[in-house]
Amino acid sequence: MPQLVVSEECWPIAGAFTISRGSKTQADVVTISLAAGSHIGRGECVPYPRYGETVSQVIAALTDARGRIEAGLARSDIPALIAPMAARNALDCALWDLEAKLTGQPVWTLAGLPKPTPVVTAYTLSLDTPEAMGAAAAAAAHRPLLKLKLGREGDADRLTSVRRNAPSCRLIVDANEGWSADGLPGMLALCADTGVEMVEQPLPAGRDEALREMMRPVAVCADESAHGLSTLDDLAGKYDAINIKLDKTGGLTPAVALARAARARNFRIMVGCMLATSLAMAPAMLLTPWADVVDLDGPLLLAADRAPPIRYDGSLMHPPPRDLWG
C-alpha cells in the first residue's frame, strides 16, 4: 500500500506578482508523494485564499485522511474523503502519476486522452502602472500571446500602453473580478478596439448577472465563477468561455469531465493554472487538446523551477518529462 508524504514548499517569484486583489513574492504550494516500493507518484496544488483554502487547511485535510489513503484509495473515492479542492487535486494527480509509474504507461494512455504535443502558452504581465506594463510588454514583445492582469483604476491607459509597446502580440486580459457592470461596456469596447481576444472574469463571481444581457464584442471567460460541472448551468448565457484549473475542479479526473461537458455546450476553453512549478503544470497539459487558449506559464514567473522541469522554448511549452510526472 502507498506511503503518504505531505510537504509545504515556497518558491520565490521573479520579482513580484500583482493582480487586482494584491501582490505576492512567493508561490506557496503543497506537494504530496505516494510511495509504493520503488515507485513514487507526486502531485502539487496551490491552496487559494480566494476560495477559502489555506496551506495549513490543505495539509491538515491530507494528514487526517492518511489512514484511508494508505489503505488504498481509488480516484473516485477522493470527493467523499477530502473537502478542499486543492487537496483533492494533489491527491488525484499523485494517484495518476503512481499508476503510470507502476504500469509503465503514460497517464494520457491510461486516461484515454490524446498524446500531449508542444503548445504555445500565454505569458502574464503583472498589474502595474501603465508605464511599467508598457515596458514589460516591450520586453516580452517576442512572445506570441500576452496576458494582462488588470482590474484597477487606470486600466484603459494600461491596455493602451501594452498594445503600443507590443503591437504584434495576441492579447488576453484578466480583470480578476475588478471591473464594474457600469464601466464594463466601455472596457469591452476598448478591448475590441485594441485587438484583445478574450477577457477573463471582469465582474465579481456571484455579481455577474449583468453579463447575460450585455453585448460582448470580445469573448468573456469565467474564472472565479467557473469550478466544476455544477457551475456550467449558471455560466450559460453569461460567458463564452471557461478557465479550467485543476485546483478549482479538484484534480485531473474532474477537469477532464468538465472539459468534455463544456465543449458539448459550445463553451470555449482556457486551460489555466495557479502560480506554481512544473509539477502542477504537467497534468494540466493533458487538457490542452480541448483548449482554445493555454495559460500554463507559472514556472516562467518563478525565480527557479523544480527539477526536472518542463521545457519552455520562449512561450512554446513541451510535454513534461516522465521523471517529473505522468
User: Among all residues, which ones are annotated catalytic?
Assistant: 149, 245
> Measured between alpha carbons, how far is residue 65 from residues 7, 62, 70, 250, 290 in Å?
15, 5, 9, 16, 33
- Would you say how long the chain is, in residues? 326
SS3 at position 100: helix
Q: Which three cell numbers stand for residue 241?
A: 468561455
Cell 491596455 locates to 159
For residue 88, what is its C-alpha cell?
483533492
Please tell me the distance from the alpha carbon of residue 47 to that of residue 53, in angstroms, as a whole number.
5
Q: Are 94 and 265 in contact (CB under 8 A)?
A: no
Collapsing DSSP to helix, strand or coil, 173 comes out as strand
Q: 228, 242 in Cβ contact below 8 A?
A: no
Question: Taking phi first (over 0 means left), then psi (-120 to 50 degrees means alpha), and beta for anything else, what does residue 314 get?
Answer: left
